[in-house]
Structure 1
Amino acid sequence: MDIASLSIAQSTINVASDVQVAVLSKSLDTMETLGDGMKKMMESSVTPYLGQNIDYLV
């Protein structure tokens, strides 16, 4: 192999690695968001009537 083809191969590997890291980061963000949603759902299931009634005086 010559230097030019080695350089192209290395560049391709670097781009693929960067894409994999970006996808993994996005997946981690999505899982974190889903975890927060699951936490809120579990908290609301403990007190399902919280916030449904309002006491007021006129």
Structure 2
Amino acid sequence: MDIAGLSSVMSMEKLQMNVGFAMMSKVMDAMEMSTEAMAEMMDAAAQVSGGAAIPGLGENLDILV
């Protein structure tokens, strides 16, 4: 392969790698935002329900088989 062709291939590979990093960064940002939104919704639901969705849930344990 000649020098010009090798340079072109290396340039394209570098571009593809940079695009991949940029896309991964965007995905990570989106996941972080959705995780924060989910945590806020869970906190709001806990405040509305008083911390338990079903009163008395988990108070008794049936260990008989």
TM-score by length of 1: 0.82
Length, aligned pairs only: 49
Q: Which residue number in structure 1 is paired with residue 8 of structure 2? A: 8
Moved over 6 A (4+): none
Structure 2, unpaired ranges of 5+: 50-65
Distance 1:30 1:48 in 2: 27
Q: Which residue number in structure 2 is paired with residue 39 of structure 1? A: 39
Distance 1:22 1:37 in 2: 23
Structure 1, unpaired ranges of 5+: 50-58
CA distances 1:3-45 after superposition (whole Å, capped 9, x unpaired):
0000000000000000000000000000000000000000001
Shift, 1:48, TM fit = 1.6
Query: RMSD in angstroms over aligned alpha carbons?
Result: 1.0
Q: Which residue number in structure 1 is paired with residue 62 of structure 2? A: none
Give the SS at the match of 1:36.
helix
TM-score by length of 2: 0.73
Give the SS at the match of 2:48.
coil
Aligned amino acid, residue 4 of structure 1: A
